[in-house]
Structure 1
Amino acid sequence: MICYLSHPYGGDSRNLKRIQVLIAMLHEANPDDLVISPVPMWSELYKVMDYIDGLDMCLELIGTCDKFYLAGDWTQSKGCIAERAYALALGMEIIELEGDGVYD
């Protein structure tokens, strides 16, 4: 199963680390699943790409997935809210994760 991980980023390297840890934790719990997140793949584009163009890329990626995870303080992130709305519109299974697994 291909699973999308939605987590706030905002250009913050601590969020990138949180996402990387969550991907590892999800893989350990579900080794047959492929967990993907746009942040580790495209974090450098965040600095140079128009926000809406980047969000469009994320939505396209969500469309290839079977399951949708939400993590971090996603309710305060416009990107995560938009991604969740798209996943809902697609009828995807949505799972909200508790905590990040990484603390400052």
Structure 2
Amino acid sequence: MKIYIAGPMTGYSDFNRPMFNLVASHIANDGHVALNPAILPNGLTQFQYMDICLAMIRCADAIHMLHGWQESEGAVAERALAMKLGLKISYQFEESAA
């Protein structure tokens, strides 16, 4: 499976890259392809990041939501697209009402 990782980045130390990278390594170790937005370079606009990330989601079979995703406008939008596309959605910590 190709699994996109979604979660909060803005306002986090190093844009939360350590958590994204840790989860990506777990996904890869499980034999899947991790689509990891944390590998994108610095210096793009928010619009450019979202454009690239939405394209990655369209290539994915599933999306994995990191803790705190609800606080990120980008991650909320990514989840909405995943839902619309019928992708499997998993959560870093089980959602009580998901």
TM-score (structure 2 length as normaliser): 0.84
Distance 1:19 1:83 in 2: 15
Matches within 5 A, 1:4-83: 4-10=4-10, 12-13=13-14, 15-28=16-29, 30-31=30-31, 33-40=32-39, 42-44=40-42, 48-83=43-78
Distance 1:69 1:60 in 2: 16
Please tell me whether residue 3 in structure 1 is matched to residue 3 in structure 2. yes
Task: Quote the offset at 1:25 in angstroms.
Answer: 1.9
Letter of the structure 2 residue corresponding to residue 5 of structure 1: I
Instruction: Specify every segment of 5 or more residues in structure 2 that has no aligned partner in the other structure, as ranges.
Output: none
Letter of the structure 2 residue corresponding to residue 38 of structure 1: P
Letter of the structure 2 residue corresponding to residue 64 of structure 1: C
Distance 2:58 2:52 in 1: 10
Distance 1:12 1:57 in 2: 22
Letter of the structure 2 residue corresponding to residue 39 of structure 1: A
Question: Closer, same or farther in 2 for the Cα pair 1:78/1:26, shift >3 Å?
Answer: same
CA RMSD of aligned residues (A): 1.8
Question: Closer, same or farther in 2 for the Cα pair 1:55/1:25, shift >3 Å?
Answer: same
Instruction: Specify every segment of 5 or more residues in structure 1 that has no aligned partner in the other structure, as ranges.
Output: 100-104
Task: Quote the offset at 1:12 in angstroms.
Answer: 3.0
**Aligned residues with identical type, % of pairs:** 23
Task: Quote the offset at 1:14 in angstroms.
Answer: 6.0
Letter of the structure 1 residue corresponding to residue 45 of structure 2: D
Deviations 1:45-72 (A, max 9, x none): xxx3221232121111100111111012
TM-score (structure 1 length as normaliser): 0.79
Distance 1:12 1:78 in 2: 18
